[in-house]
């Protein structure tokens, strides 16, 4: 720790008496950029204190210019961390803040929450329930009590977590989502998910609630390496054959002949299209529309889909009147088809038909509108805010990230050195092993298991293992990993629920207090990116294989699209970078604080190549040691590193 050498304006808000190594430079870079009304793209490793740095560097300008700070992050834990830091700031300088959760997390109406299958359907159900006066928690302005108004004022006076507000509202019978929404216009710092800012529909409603516009916003994007994939998801849509069948039954139930005939015809066409399909294939967007026009009695597709949309809306109102959840499959299907028309002729989208298996191992098919360009979602935001602070521990190469998301051209770019003492990090790559497709043999998996066992037996307590895919994970289990290990094994499985995963991780972490255990997960999964393992919760992490995506139709289309936008860089931007970011995120799990000592072992010779190493964070790659094949070499290195 070093004494404070920060701008005077920042010292008013920075709550600590000293800064960590590189933290002062991180703060100054952000403060100077935002003060000049410029955005900043900045990479800083774990343990640097990015959250409080970004907040304290932004607050002086936000207060002076009467701006709001929106801090977007992926998880509730990250949102709550913002509030914890704001509470430290509050002791020094009063500032308000709140961590938002989605309506599905905040809603107390059991009918709405139980039947909603996504955020959009819950929002629509909520609005219908309120309009019909069927939500006991909703309070119209004239019904708001003195307690309600006092609580609203209290929320806007200091930092609060959403979970804290929800507890009070549950006790008093208030809608926590509405109460928070009513207080937002008076709150300075709001921590929330990406969707509030980057989903155009949600953003429009949210900005209305906070009574401002993007020009009056300082936007902080944390864990920004996730944003391109999130932006793609926001723009994409899907419609399953199951949903079409349900729409057909719905039309039959409500005796709507036109809708019934159309859904039956549409279902049969989708079944024919996917009958012999093994995985997925691109289908010309125009072909579906032409079939509907020529053989489905749909003369004007747009008008017809809008009529179906109104039919679905009517069904939802009827269900609500009967006290049932207002879900309509006709409504959902029509929205998908209208989106299909909207994206027609736009080369930043592809249309895909795919076959897959459900969790119950039942074959299913769906149509998809797959977005290829994240900047269609990110650029309208980044170009409109007062300033953007885009940060993560894994953003390099910065220029590639800036181009993919279309950040402002005058953006400040900065990569800060790691604050970790080099003697706290052991970075190794093993030659002689690989998960490249042609190398995946029983003999190779046995070698990988031997190397994992060497590491686990010589690690002080807990070892994490993150594989390139579930196929590799399952192959290791099949080849006897659990039998070989002398420590308990905790492993993820495909389709695991959030709750089951949390329990699994908690059990593994607890073993760090004893002789240790081994956790087996996948790179790019919720554990490898969203969970911290400080201290003995994970002493060593093993990265098994480079997590390149399977070269599916959509992956090839992504590469081709980027090649058109960025000549000769399509493969790097659409294939290599996403994989290396997953590997880098997993590699950083055991080193979360300046006191942590962690070993990082790459079990794939490809990580030793100059090409792959160039995409790893410098604090991992600069002192990486390459080990030649052989038993016992890896064990010796791990044993020496953890020797007291």
| Structure tokens, 327 | 């879900």
pLDDT for 178: 80
Indicate the pLDDT class of residue 182, thresholds 50, 70 and 90: confident
pLDDT for 567: 96
Q: What sign does the CA torsion over 375, 380, 384, 386 have?
A: negative
Indicate the pLDDT class of residue 3, thresholds 50, 70 and 90: low
* Contact between 370 and 557 (Cβ < 8 Å): yes
**What gap in Å lies between CA 45 and CA 48, rounded to an integer?**
6
> Any idea which of 136-140, 411-415, 465-469 has the lowest mean pLDDT?
136-140
Percent of the chain, pLDDT > 70?
Answer: 94
* Contact between 173 and 162 (Cβ < 8 Å): no
> Any idea which of 16-25, 106-115, 381-390, 566-575 has the lowest mean pLDDT?
106-115
Which residues touch 433 (CB under 8 Å, ≥6 apart)?
444, 447, 448, 451, 603, 604, 605, 629
**What gap in Å lies between CA 484 and CA 473, rounded to an integer?**
15
* Contact between 627 and 431 (Cβ < 8 Å): yes
Range 532-546 average pLDDT? 94
**What gap in Å lies between CA 186 and CA 168, rounded to an integer?**
20
**What gap in Å lies between CA 628 and CA 429, rounded to an integer?**
9
Which residues touch 483 (CB under 8 Å, ≥6 apart)?
none
pLDDT for 622: 86
* Contact between 114 and 121 (Cβ < 8 Å): no
pLDDT for 141: 60
Within 10 angstroms of residue 608's Cβ, the number of other Cβ atoms is 17
Indicate the pLDDT class of residue 623, thresholds 50, 70 and 90: confident
pLDDT for 21: 85
DSSP characters for 266-277?
A: HHHHHHHHHTT-
Cis bond leading into 397, ω under 30°? yes
The pLDDT of residue 35 is above 90: yes
> Any idea which of 106-115, 212-221, 502-511 has the lowest mean pLDDT?
106-115
DSSP state of 548: P
Question: Which pTM was predicted?
Answer: 0.89
Range 13-18 average pLDDT? 93
Within 10 angstroms of residue 471's Cβ, the number of other Cβ atoms is 16
The pLDDT of residue 524 is above 70: yes
For the chain, what is the mean pLDDT? Answer: 91
Strands, sheet with 625-627, edge to edge from the N-terminal-most edge strand? 489-491, 518-522, 463-467, 540-544, 598-603, 425-430, 625-627
Helix 176-183 to helix 162-172 angle (10° resolution) is 120
Indicate the pLDDT class of residue 67, thresholds 50, 70 and 90: very high
Residue with tokens 């956790």: 519
Q: Is 39 exposed, middle or buried (0-12, 13-18, 19+ CB in 10 A)?
A: buried
Paired strand residues for 159: 97
Biggest CA-to-CA distance, the chain: 78
Indicate the pLDDT class of residue 113, thresholds 50, 70 and 90: low
The pLDDT of residue 229 is above 90: yes
Indicate the pLDDT class of residue 436, thresholds 50, 70 and 90: very high
* Contact between 97 and 191 (Cβ < 8 Å): yes
**What gap in Å lies between CA 368 and CA 282, rounded to an integer?**
9
The pLDDT of residue 426 is above 90: yes
Which residues touch 393 (CB under 8 Å, ≥6 apart)?
43, 44, 45, 46, 584, 585, 588, 617
pLDDT for 112: 64
| Structure tokens, 136 | 């006991």
Range 571-591 average pLDDT? 94
DSSP characters for 385-418?
A: SSEEEEEES---SHHHHHHHHT--TT-EEEEPPP
**What gap in Å lies between CA 198 and CA 398, rounded to an integer?**
21
pLDDT for 120: 64
Phi, psi of 291 (to 5 degrees): -60, -45
pLDDT for 46: 77
Phi, psi of 532 (to 5 degrees): -95, 145
Domains of the chain: 2-109+142-233+376-415 (3.40.50.300), 237-310+326-371 (1.10.275.40), 422-642 (3.40.50.300)
Indicate the pLDDT class of residue 386, thresholds 50, 70 and 90: very high
pLDDT for 500: 92
**What gap in Å lies between CA 478 and CA 484, rounded to an integer?**
12
The pLDDT of residue 2 is above 60: no
DSSP characters for 132-180?
A: TT--TT---GGG--HHHHHHHHHHTTSEEEHHHHHHHHHHHT--HHHHH
Indicate the pLDDT class of residue 644, thresholds 50, 70 and 90: confident
Range 292-307 average pLDDT? 91
Within 10 angstroms of residue 133's Cβ, the number of other Cβ atoms is 9
**What gap in Å lies between CA 523 and CA 543, rounded to an integer?**
8
The segment with the largest mean pLDDT, out of 55-59, 148-152, 522-526, is: 55-59
pLDDT for 143: 66
The pLDDT of residue 487 is above 90: yes
Percent of the chain, pLDDT > 90?
Answer: 69
Phi, psi of 139 (to 5 degrees): -120, 115
**What gap in Å lies between CA 113 and CA 97, rounded to an integer?**
26
pLDDT for 555: 95
DSSP state of 549: P
Indicate the pLDDT class of residue 117, thresholds 50, 70 and 90: low
The pLDDT of residue 14 is above 60: yes
Phi, psi of 639 (to 5 degrees): -65, -45
Within 10 angstroms of residue 62's Cβ, the number of other Cβ atoms is 22
């Amino acid at each position: 720790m070093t004494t404070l050498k920060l701008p005077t304006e920042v010292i008013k808000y920075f709550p600590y008496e000293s800064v960590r190594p590189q933290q002062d430079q991180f703060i100054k870079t952000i403060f100077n950029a935002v003060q000049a009304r410029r955005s900043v793209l900045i990479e800083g490793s774990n343990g640097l204190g990015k959250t409080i740095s970004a907040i304290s560097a932004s607050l002086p300008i936000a207060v002076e210019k009467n701006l709001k700070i929106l801090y977007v992050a992926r998880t509730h834990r990250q949102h709550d961390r913002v509030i914890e830091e704001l509470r430290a700031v509050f002791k020094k300088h009063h500032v308000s803040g709140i961590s938002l959760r989605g309506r599905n997390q905040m809603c107390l109406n059991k009918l709405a929450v139980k039947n909603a299958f996504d955020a959009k359907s819950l929002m629509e159900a909520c609005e219908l329930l309120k309009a019909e006066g069927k939500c006991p928690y909703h309070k119209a302005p004239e019904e708001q009590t003195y307690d309600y108004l006092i609580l609203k004022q209290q929320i806007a006076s200091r930092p609060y977590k959403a979970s804290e507000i929800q507890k009070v509202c549950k006790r008093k019978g208030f809608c926590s989502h509405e109460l928070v929404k009513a207080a937002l216009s008076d709150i300075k710092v709001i921590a929330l998910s990406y969707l509030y800012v980057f989903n155009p529909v949600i953003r429009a409603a949210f900005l209305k609630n906070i009574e401002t516009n993007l020009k009056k916003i300082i936007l902080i994007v944390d864990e920004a390496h996730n944003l391109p994939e999130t932006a793609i998801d926001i723009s994409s849509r899907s419609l399953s054959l199951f949903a079409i069948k349900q729409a057909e039954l719905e039309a039959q139930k409500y005796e709507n002949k036109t809708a019934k005939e159309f859904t039956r015809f549409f279902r049969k066409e989708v079944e024919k299209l996917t009958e012999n399909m093994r995985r997925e294939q691109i289908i010309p967007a125009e072909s579906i529309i032409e079939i509907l026009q020529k053989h489905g009695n749909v003369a004007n597709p747009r008008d017809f889909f809008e009529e179906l949309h109104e039919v679905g809306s009517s069904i939802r109102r009827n269900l609500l009147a009967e006290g049932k959840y207002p879900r309509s499959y006709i409504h959902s299907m029509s929205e998908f088809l209208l989106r299909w028309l909207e994206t027609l002729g736009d080369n930043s989208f592809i249309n895909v038909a795919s076959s897959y298996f459900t969790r119950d191992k039942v074959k299913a098919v769906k149509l998809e509108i797959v977005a290829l360009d994240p900047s269609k979602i990110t650029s309208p935001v980044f170009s409109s805010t007062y300033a953007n602070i885009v940060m993560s521990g894994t953003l390099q190469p910065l220029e590639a990230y800036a181009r993919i998301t279309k950040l402002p051209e005058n953006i400040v770019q900065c990569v800060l050195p790691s604050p970790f003492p080099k003697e706290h990090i052991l970075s190794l790559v093993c030659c002689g092993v690989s998960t490249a497709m042609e190398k995946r043999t029983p003999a190779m998996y046995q070698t990988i298991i031997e190397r994992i066992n060497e590491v686990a037996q010589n690690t002080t307590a807990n070892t994490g293992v993150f594989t390139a895919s579930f196929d590799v994970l399952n192959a290791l289990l099949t080849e006897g990993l659990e039998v070989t290990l002398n420590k308990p094994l905790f492993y993820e499985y495909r389709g695991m629920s959030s709750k089951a995963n949390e329990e699994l991780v908690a059990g593994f972490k607890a073993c760090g207090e004893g002789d240790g255990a081994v956790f087996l997960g996948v790179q790019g999964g919720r554990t490898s990116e969203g969970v911290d393992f400080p201290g003995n919760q994970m002493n060593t992490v093993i990265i098994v294989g480079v997590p390149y995506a399977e070269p599916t139709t959509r992956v090839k289309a992504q590469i081709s699209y980027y090649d058109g936008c960025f000549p000769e860089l399509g493969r790097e931007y659409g294939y290599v970078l996403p994989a290396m970011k997953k590997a880098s995120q997993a590699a950083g799990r055991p080193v979360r604080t300046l006191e942590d000592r962690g070993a990082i072992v790459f079990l794939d010779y490809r990580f030793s190549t100059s090409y792959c190493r160039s995409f790893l964070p410098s604090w991992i790659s600069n002192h990486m040691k390459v080990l030649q094949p052989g038993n016992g070499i890896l064990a010796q290195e791990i044993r020496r590193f953890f020797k007291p």
